[in-house]
Chain A
Amino acid sequence: MASSGSLLWAVDIFGRVYTLSTTGQFWELCKHGQLEFKRVSAVKQCCWGIACDHQIHVYVHSSDVPIRYQEETYENQRWNPVIGFCEKLLPSDRWQWSDVSGLKHQKFESFALPSPHWEWESDWYVDENFGGDPTEKGGWTYAIDFPATYTKDKRWNSCVRRRRWIRYRRYKSRDAWAKIPSEEDPKQLPDPFSDLSVGGWEITDEPAGRLSVWAVSLQGKVWYRENVCHHNPEGSSWSLISTPGEVVQISCGQYDLLWATLWEGQAIVREGIDRNNPQGVSWTVVQPPVPENGISHVSVGVNVVWAVTKDGKVWFRRGVNSHNPCGTSWIEMVGEMMMVNVGLNDQVWGISCEDRAVYFRQGVTPSELSGKAWKAIICSRDTDRSQTGSSTSLLSAGCFFTDDIKEQSNSFLRSNGDPLSDAEMPLAIASSCLPGLADGDDRHDEASQAANSDVNPVADTASTTPEEAGPASDQRLTPVPEKPSSDQDSRPAELQWTNIDLKEAGKTPALSVSAFAETSSLSSFGTLPLGMEDRYGADEHPVWAWVSGGGCLVDSLSSLKWFMVHSGLASSGQSLCPSITPAQTAVWRKQIFQQLAERTRRELENFRHYEQAVEQSVWVKTGTLQWWRSWKPYKWIDVRVALEQFTGNDGTRDSILFIYYVQLEEKKYLHVFLNEVTILVEILNEAKHSFALYTPETTKQRWPIRLAAATEQEMHDWLALLSMSCCESRRIQGPPSHQAIWSVTCKGDLFVSEPTPDLEAAAHPMPCDQMFWQQIGGHLRLIESNSRGIVWGVGYDHTAWVYTGGYGGGFFSGLANGADNIYAQSDVKNVYIYENQRWNPVTGYSSRGLPTDRYMWSDASGLQECTKANTKPPSPQWLWVSDWSIDFSVSGGTDREGWQYAADFPASYHGQKTMKDFVRRRRWARKCKIVTSGPWLEVPPIALWDVSIIPELPTAKEECVALWAISDKGDVLCRLNITRQNPAGSSWLHVGTDQPFISVSIGGFHQVWAVARDGSAFYRGSVSPKKPEGDCWYHIRSPPKQKLKQVSVGRTAVFAVDKNGNLWYRQGITPNYPQGSSWDHISNNVRKVSVGPLDQVWVIADKVQGSHSLSCGTVCHRTGVQPMEPKGQSWDYGIGGGWEHVTVRGNATEIAKRASWEATVEHLVESNNSEAGESEGRGDSPQSTLFVDEDHSLDRNAVQC
């Protein structure tokens, strides 16, 4: 569990760094390295920190995917008549070794590792891939001359050739503090750093993992770290950013907010930060809330700024957003804090002045950014459980201020804590007052400055009068000789240190244990559970100096366990909690099950013929809905709806849905037997809460019964009831079987269907429009399964999920059945709108179009007006979680402002303006989030793009199930240790590739195929249970002039879909030559393919024509697929109208086929062999097209087109 949480980072006053997981109950010491830290600034993937030696370090979390960087260089050769191609080039030519342009000399030796934290992965090797095609000629590409167009083939006039050499280096210092190398040039060297802040990752996605790292030096200068991104976690160099004054502290939000504080107490706000200029342009000064107390600390999020003034008061800045980074005014908040830190989701943490505990701001939501109350995080540290902590704390107390003294005091203290050596330090503190800083009002800055000051390591006492420091040092002395004594004695010693550091000693002289109990007064909730006070008081209390929540994700779903002490006793009580696992195995529980079964036998067995006291009477639900009339003019009309449930003579339940409507003043009705309903599906429609009800008949027509409810709740009530009635009438109960076929709509809704044995029958298979689909809670983009019940899904936000074996969730939550294994699930996706402009000679591009033009703000088609203001999230379940921002990741590329140009609407758009262009458009994206529930558990932390599980017959013997995946960055991954008991597996194994991949599929006998982003296919050699990652990639030539986008491997059959919607079958695959020989065209109009363990072929077809209408995204089944005829004959059309994904890879149930499999496989191999040679020339391969009439109007019945 601990691994699935995100981390809150904090530094205690001794410089020890701790992390607290959102799922954890203890502060865990960051173990690596002996370093002590003053500041940390965390983001999800790493944490930057300033150590006590003022050096900056970065701590990159380990991951199963390595950080690797591809170095490349080109080898150039010229042909001469004597020896052919050789290294001798003409004097005018480029170097023999150069970069791609030929302008830079690049020999192997010129590549050096950038820092000691890198290592080479392998030696240099030749890249055989040329534009998605294998060269098969040592990687050489040919041209007439440098520079020219290179081709794969050597021609008569090819005078020059070149090839690309690549080598990877890998970042090795993960899960460890890696020192950022200092500048070599002493003149460039910034003076020691005193503060830093990391953020800005939402400004742009390019390059992946880009971060803004800002630092402040002791002289008050601001520095920006260049080129920090995923494959360069250390960045490259520091750039000085000029500031209007001396900066003390800086805070960088995850998006474009950046605030800093000045010595004089004002804040400065960076303006002009955007994608093209992450450093920003200028500073604007913001005055402190009250002139007499300047701002000492500031922290920013996405839409919030929190500040602390020198008197410890906490302020919230009103009206801050991307367009107005300065905000409008200050609001004073309750509580006094040393510092505050804004993390993900604009959540806030602070360190209290009173007790230096970390507080969490409760109740921060998008609508209430300032939150409700401070609540102390009082969980203990992991070290507290094992050690008494007293002696080490005292040791480190000496270490905190400076490393000079550290060594000294360390050595002294270790040699049995000589009181004299300790006495020296406080004396030094008391005597050293920097005259310039001895400003009484500055009292609050001390904590930060204290730690930072290199010039004078004890500068924090600047504002301390000798009278104050004196007594403190006295008290400091006393406990030392008693150090080896009990906790009781050591605790006060530590607290007095707190006093010195806080400078609050004068104001609140009695800072004692009782103060901790009072911390709850800050919170509106009681912080200490009943009976915990004693335990808490006896615990050693951590004293914090810094906290960073930039990598800590807390949202409405999180249930934090931070607010109570978990001691041994409490946790043992918890582990016995009856509703969790240990109870499941208890004897008493087994015995209850046994006795209940016995009771049923005893009391019921012989009396089943008795009449039931309570009749299962007719149950009716009635209501008013709207119905989409199925004749012209199509419109919504009000109808009365009644569901009548009755019990048949044989005890089966069935239900009829009546829809009463009035036509021409005549009352009429239509009715549907629910045992005929094949699916109930919500329809994506902003205006109506509507759903569709399909029967085999309406599926053929592509015209379902559509009903709409007044509210979402009402619709969900109906859907839940109708779905339950459908399942009841079909006697479907419990979770789906392992064989189940899963599908996903474009809305992200999940459906599952139980295959009947005749679904894949050779003769007269069950038509797939008769399949019954049952909804399962959750929201995903794709699902993959196999016949051992392993099911994985990937969300729109690329989160990986594993199926828990439950059912229900979503709007079924109200029904008690199957509530086990249902968990909260969330997903995030983008909503896009387009801004369109036309060029005119007077004003250039403007939002004034021609009268015939599309809306200036529209959807992708241009037909619907979509403005920023009127565009709503897809349904009320979705909530906006970001503002509108320009989307640069559009196919075809954009200019710096995100525009794409074209000659006219609608046309093909390109990223650079040309003379012929008269219109342009750009895409705006806004993120929205859904929170639902379903039988899914997150598999953190790597985000996925694609996933595939090995299809197996249920009898398969192997313990582990092979699963391959593509990460959202295009890495190929292989999951280890997936079993029935542990469907999530344990870890990823990274499989190296030379370019990002987009699709992967593992078929029978561990045949792994994959598709790279450039559209080329690869076969992975030698994958086996013993060697799950295989050994090397074989580049497979794509179908002529096509770029592949998806591949699916069944038992032996390999099918692929290209970017133009063609479905291809791989011909000529044999055990000896598993790569096959050529691609055979099967069909067009295909969006996605799923090949099952019986080599059955299912696709999502782009458009399918029904008798009444047309539907996009239809589940189709290839019929006539036989071992001898793997390509099948024709298509059978199933449910459709907005389907995105289907997987049949769990369905291994086909009686006839299974028995004769082995024989047929051999047959297949033979036949393939004989076919391979001639297939190229044959034009009569069994082709069939999913043909549709393009003129047809948009499908209104679809989930969404």
Chain B
Amino acid sequence: MTDDKDVLRKVWFGRIPTCFTLYQDEITEREAEPYYLLLPRISYLTLVTDKVKKHFQKVMKQEDVVEIWFEYEGMPLKWHYPIGLLFDLHASNTALPWNITVHFKNFPEKDLLHCPSKDVIESHFMSSIKEADALKHKSQVINEMQKKDHKQLWMGLQNDKFDQFWAINKKLMEYPPEDSGFRYIPFRIYHTTTEQPFIQKLFRPIAADGQLNTLGDLLKEVCPAAINSEDGEKNQVVIHGIEPMLETPVQWLSEHMSYPDNFLHIGILPQPAD
């Protein structure tokens, strides 16, 4: 019997092969070779692209290197979304590797947040974790932790240390035995075809009748369009590049398939026409 813990590992060690190419209009001193990298799905673009930056810096003038940003097929990629989510939303049904264009000029102020340093990523990440725990445990677990535990979560993510991260994160995934789950499930649903960036509502893991709420229940309640869209188009419900069955209990999903920020990031994409 396969262990639920294996899911955590599989989720953690998910990698997306990526090809970074420099935007054609960037001025270079010599031709820039594309750069190939395996990106961790659960991490953030600006956290894991030091090598990319260094690679392209070499062919550019020092003064032209300002703030790096990434774009895929004309779409600026939000660094504050996990990489896996970005891939699932924008590139999931395309050929690999994922072709990302690297920019150093013309920062799209209206689309992206600035990311001057890793501290910004850290504070974004930690605030997500805190928000998630507020939903799950009224912030009780995260507030009881020490500063060094918080640091360990972050360092675990930053250095890709599964054990280091989960040693602490498991506390965030616990709940009192008399409850059958969290208070509310921290989730965000991203619907590529709508304007709204994402949907986030209060949703309990256990229904009033004591039954476990499933992924299907969740979608029915907060995003009914996702499962029966009016034009008859079928949608994919994607988490970490897979499509869990709608019968899957959300509590289980939350415990096992949340991103390190403790949120379930669920992508709703139109079914590809073959």
A: which residues have CB within 8 A of B?
529, 531, 559, 561, 563-564, 569-570, 572-574, 576-579, 583-584, 586-589, 591-593, 595-600, 602-604, 606-607, 610-614, 616-617, 619, 724, 814-820
Contacts and interface: CB of A to CB of B under 8 A. Distances in A.
B123 interface: no
Contacts, number: 145
Interface in B3-17: 3-8, 10-11, 14-17
Contacts of A591: 244-245
Contact of B37 (A573, A595, A602, A610): A610
A816 B163 contact: yes
A368 B205 CA distance: 38
A563 B178 CA distance: 9
B120 interface: no
A617 B10 CA distance: 21
Interface residues of B, number: 59
- Mostly, the B contact residues are mixed
A613 B39 contact: yes
A491 to B, nearest CB: 24
A244 B162 CA distance: 71
A603 B167 contact: no
A583 B40 contact: no
A593 B212 contact: no
B211 A576 contact: yes
Contact of B212 (A529, A576, A616): A576
B48 A592 contact: no
Contact of B6 (A570, A593, A595): A593
Contacts of B180: 573-574, 576-577
B14 A603 contact: yes
A599 B241 contact: yes
Contacts of B158: 614
Given A587-B245, A612-B15, A616-B160, 17 more contacts: A529-B178, A573-B212, A577-B181, A578-B251, A579-B4, A587-B247, A592-B244, A592-B257, A596-B10, A596-B240, A597-B10, A604-B17, A610-B17, A613-B39, A613-B43, A614-B159, A820-B3
B111 interface: no
A610 B38 contact: yes
Interface in B156-187: 158-163, 166-167, 169-170, 177-178, 180-181
27 contacts: A563-B178, A576-B249, A578-B212, A578-B255, A579-B4, A584-B1, A588-B245, A588-B247, A589-B248, A592-B248, A595-B244, A600-B14, A603-B96, A606-B17, A607-B17, A607-B96, A607-B97, A610-B17, A614-B40, A614-B158, A617-B159, A619-B159, A724-B163, A815-B167, A816-B5, A817-B163, A820-B4
Given A613-B43, A614-B159, A617-B159, A593 B2 contact: yes
Interface string B72-96: 0000000000000000000000001
Contacts of A583: 249, 252
B10 A600 contact: yes
B178 A816 contact: no
List 4 A-B pairs, minimum CB-CB distance, nearest first: A573-B210, A607-B17, A816-B166, A578-B252
A614 B241 contact: no
Contacts of A600: 10, 14
Contacts of B8: 816
B102 interface: no
Contacts of A614: 40, 43, 48, 158-160
A617 B177 CA distance: 39
A563 B40 CA distance: 45
B36 interface: yes
B242 interface: yes
Contacts of B212: 573, 576-578
B243 interface: yes
Given A603-B17, A611-B38, A613-B39, A819 B248 contact: no
Given A600-B10, A815-B163, A816-B167, A564 B245 contact: no
A495 B180 CA distance: 34
B67 to A, nearest CB: 19
Contacts of B61: none
Nearest to A580: B180
Contacts of B244: 588, 591-592, 595
Contacts of B249: 576, 578, 583, 588
A321 B220 CA distance: 63
A602 B4 CA distance: 22
Nearest to B242: A595
Interface string B105-144: 0000000000000000000000000000000000000000
